[in-house]
Structure 1
Amino acid sequence: MRKQLLKDSATYLGGSIIVQILSFIGMIFLMRFLPVSEYGKYTYIIEFISIFAFFSDGGFTQHIIKESSQNPGSIEKIYAKAQSAQLLISGIMLALILFISYPTNSIQDFYYLSIFGLSVVINAYFAPMLAILIASGRKDLIFFKDVVLSIARILFILLGIYLKAPFAYFIYLGFINCIVLFLLFLYTRYQEEYKYILNYKINIAGSFAFIRNGFLFTILMAANVIYNKIDIIMLEKMIGSTEVGYYSGATKFIYPFMFISGAFMTAIFPKLAKHSEEMDKFRSIQNLALYYLGGIGIVLSTSLYLGADLIFQLFFVDKYDDSIPVFKILVWYLSIVFIYGPISNSLVAKNKIVFLVYLNLIMIVLNIAMNFFLIPAYGAKGAAMATIICEILILGSAIIYWKIIDNGQLKVDN
């Protein structure tokens, strides 16, 4: 089992490395081209929409993967319910984006938010298809989709730089994803095992049932997104786009490494769900993830911290020097999250989602409170401090809760 898990993870990881490198190159070009304040505004637009974009996978991706892995014979029914629910929930997402962004932003920002939000809503339609492909192990299709998307995005960015396009040009970048997903959608019609993706019937009753069943996943996704994005929103509203630019500049050398944890857990989660009632196999899978991811996270954080000054000098000369102190705080985010990932996914596989929901909701309140006091005093550095404090508390709480569950299960087995 160990070899198979590592093989699956390596496949996802290999594809993700290529995608992340291409995406990173594109963002570096964009950061060097745009003034810091405009890049900060670009980041704000993306992060603001991301608060609503938990709907972009319906909040159901893990639920679809879990159900498909445990009930492979019902995959067509699962997809029909998920796709019907996605259509309904995407409409709600668009309404929320327009309703909330209009009174809270300038007319110009509202225009940018509406355009980018529309691209996210269109992308959302294809989320159940991607979840089914992941659950059925079609790593090749996901890999090719990601590579094509990354190349197309770079070409779009380079064209804008060559033409010296205005800031508004780059807001349309989200529609590149729509085109690539549509091409993948058309490709599935030639795959016998996925014909139901094109020929499903709308199931309104089933969609409401699916939403109810996946409600906790939706709330968990929403809480995660709000918690992770609130720093940018508060920085924009309290200090301005330039400080957002410096904060985002720091994250550009941190968040791209999250693909390692994401790829690893994408490969392993279906097996965690499948063996959730077999404690020996379950612990073996979880320990494997903790051992490798935890070690990788610690090595990455330490290496990046030590090389911070060299990294920023190499890529930006002195344009983003104010990002370095922020970077040296946020860099420990990797170590914490890489350890937390296997634990949180284990809790999801064990249907302990309520705990994660409450934990994230509490941390949202705490994060907002700390940002409120730290941002005026320390700017982007204060937002970074709030993030790391919350991450440490989340990790500690999850470990304690998992130990309680694990000990309880051990007593039952004995």
Structure 2
Amino acid sequence: MKSLQEFLQHFLSNKGQHVFLSLLVAKVCAFLGSLFIIRILPESEFGTVSIVASVFAVFAPFSGFGSQQSLLRFGSLTDETADKKWLSSYLLLKGFGRQVLLTAVFFLVSLFYVNRYEDILYIFLFFSVRLIGFYFFNHLQSELRIFGKNAEFARLNNTVNISGVILLLTLSYFWGLLGYLAALAATPFLAFFWFKWHHLKNITETFSFNKKEIWNYGLHASGTALLSDTLFSADVLLLSFLMNENAVADYKVAILIPANITFLALTFMQSDFPVLAKNYQNKAFLKNYIFNYYKIFLPVTALIFGIGFIFKSEVIQLFFTSKYEESTLPFIILLAAFCGNMLLRNLYGNLLSAVGKMKANTLISLFTLVMLPIFALFLVGHYGFTGMAVSLSLSMLLNGFMLMISFYIYLKNLK
């Protein structure tokens, strides 16, 4: 128990709770913004925006070609303030050049849609501006994290997200689609209130890190993020192909709550990421971290699953009405799967990222993405959308065990 107390005290002393709560605020703001815009925009306009937003979601993980992920990890490895500043300035400049290229490619994608959807070109233009702002926002977040300024990170995150959702609600109410797009494009640039002049000075390459290693890590981190996001959209796309829109609706109801419980583990791990990266060769620290993580999340996941299992019918009826009663069994299957996800995939995937083993993370994510349609082809035909719930659950379980094995191989090789 003493070890767990020290673990939590260390988390609080690093102001990890600020990071945790700010990421929760970001999730709530995103949900409120989506809910409002669904109600205020005509169906056709919302559909067109959704298409562009889906393309944006593919490009967003590659922001700066992974420069922010590299800054977070490599900046956490050094205690020298000058090294951190040099690395930050270098990655800001080099990453911005790559970001401009990425944004140009993103905008060119609009040419594939321009003849099919009205006004989609200017929607892509607003999202292109957002993509640039997104780059600066992410960079400043990573920089604050490597300097241990978790409370300041929380202020940045809360200011951008809360102000952003207020701006979105206000402009959308008065100017509809145009107001929504203007708010969306402007929101990440609120981060410039945290921009300091040192970002544009002392741009040097005198830091002690290997540049090739930095960019390789960043690209693999971006690729892993993309593959991870794709896994949770491929299931819906497969189901729409193998069944129909009613099955998709039932499945979306079943997965909505289970998929969102993982924010508990993800925000907790993100809060500790700089500390984990700094101790990437400390075998005792890493083993102790895993031990204490399970002390917290084994009871948490057991409680979540227990409540969900006992009140499964009530939960479905309360949130989604009785017409979705058929989603009860898939709901329980997915709830169990995402609880397991917190104990395996979320833990060991983030640990592998922190210790620099992003290539293993990427390859395992790619393998899992290949396995999902294979499972689905066999199971959906026999069990309908319940089969898709089982397919995704098996894929995540396989992913989690492979990540765990990869991490323990790394841990075994540490002296």
- Equivalence for 1:196: 198
Aligned amino acid, residue 349 of structure 2: S
Matches within 5 A, 1:61-100: 61-73=68-80, 74-100=83-109
Aligned amino acid, residue 348 of structure 2: I
SS in 2 for 1:334: helix
TM-score, length-scaled by structure 2: 0.77
- Equivalence for 1:393: 398
- Equivalence for 1:114: 124
Identity of aligned residues (%): 18
Change (3 A) 1:99 1:283: same
SS in 1 for 2:281: coil
SS in 1 for 2:148: coil
Distance 1:42 1:275 in 2: 43
Using the TM superposition, give the Cα deviation of residue 261 of structure 1 relative to its aligned residue in structure 2, in angstroms. Answer: 1.7
Q: Is the 8 A contact 2:364 2:399 kept in 1?
A: yes
Using the TM superposition, give the Cα deviation of residue 161 of structure 1 relative to its aligned residue in structure 2, in angstroms. Answer: 7.9
- Equivalence for 1:54: 61
Distance 2:327 2:260 in 1: 16
Q: Does 372-381 or 2-11 show the bigger shift?
A: 372-381
Q: Does 346-355 or 155-164 show the bigger shift?
A: 155-164
Distance 2:328 2:63 in 1: 33
Report the RMSD for the aligned CA atoms in angstroms: 4.0
Distance 1:105 1:304 in 2: 45
- Equivalence for 2:3: none
Q: Could you report, residue by residue, the CA deviation over 1:43-98 in whole angstroms, capped at 9, with x for unpaired residues?
A: 56534431222113642433212211112421122112221232233234334434
Distance 2:380 2:324 in 1: 19
Using the TM superposition, give the Cα deviation of residue 360 of structure 1 relative to its aligned residue in structure 2, in angstroms. Answer: 1.0
SS in 2 for 1:351: coil
Matches within 5 A, 1:319-398: 327-340=331-344, 341-371=346-376, 381-398=386-403
Distance 1:101 1:84 in 2: 27
Q: Which runs of no fewer than 5 residues in structure 1 stay unpaired? A: 190-194
- Equivalence for 2:139: 128
Change (3 A) 1:171 1:154: closer
Q: Does 66-75 or 26-35 show the bigger shift?
A: 26-35
Change (3 A) 1:126 1:108: same
Matches within 5 A, 1:112-261: 114-115=124-125, 117-118=127-128, 119-155=130-166, 158-159=169-170, 165=176, 168=177, 172=181, 176=183, 178-189=185-196, 195-199=197-201, 201=203, 209=212, 210-212=214-216, 214-234=218-238, 247-261=251-265
Using the TM superposition, give the Cα deviation of residue 390 of structure 1 relative to its aligned residue in structure 2, in angstroms. Answer: 0.7
Report whether the alignment pairs 1:271 with 2:275: yes
TM-score, length-scaled by structure 1: 0.78
Q: Could you report, residue by residue, the CA deviation over 1:153-207 in whole angstroms, capped at 9, with x for unpaired residues?
A: 5435655786694xx56862xx546534323323333xxxxx422546498xx99
SS in 2 for 1:107: coil
SS in 2 for 1:277: coil
Q: Which runs of no fewer than 5 residues in structure 2 stay unpaired? A: 1-5
2:10 to 4, 13, 16: 4
Distance 1:94 1:408 in 2: 41
Change (3 A) 1:345 1:161: closer
Distance 1:377 1:35 in 2: 38
Distance 1:242 1:199 in 2: 57
Distance 1:105 1:308 in 2: 45
Using the TM superposition, give the Cα deviation of residue 362 of structure 1 relative to its aligned residue in structure 2, in angstroms. Answer: 0.9
Aligned amino acid, residue 133 of structure 1: L
Q: Does 115-124 or 270-279 show the bigger shift?
A: 115-124
Q: Is the 8 A contact 1:60 1:214 kept in 2?
A: yes
1:295 to 299, 304, 320: 299
Using the TM superposition, give the Cα deviation of residue 38 of structure 1 relative to its aligned residue in structure 2, in angstroms. Answer: 8.4
Aligned amino acid, residue 77 of structure 1: W
Distance 1:238 1:42 in 2: 26
Q: Does 280-289 or 96-105 show the bigger shift?
A: 96-105
Change (3 A) 1:40 1:181: closer
Aligned amino acid, residue 398 of structure 1: L
Change (3 A) 1:404 1:323: same
Using the TM superposition, give the Cα deviation of residue 325 of structure 1 relative to its aligned residue in structure 2, in angstroms. Answer: 5.7
- Equivalence for 1:286: 290
Change (3 A) 1:122 1:285: same
Q: Is the 8 A contact 1:44 1:244 kept in 2?
A: no
For this pair of structures, how many residues does the alignment match? Answer: 399
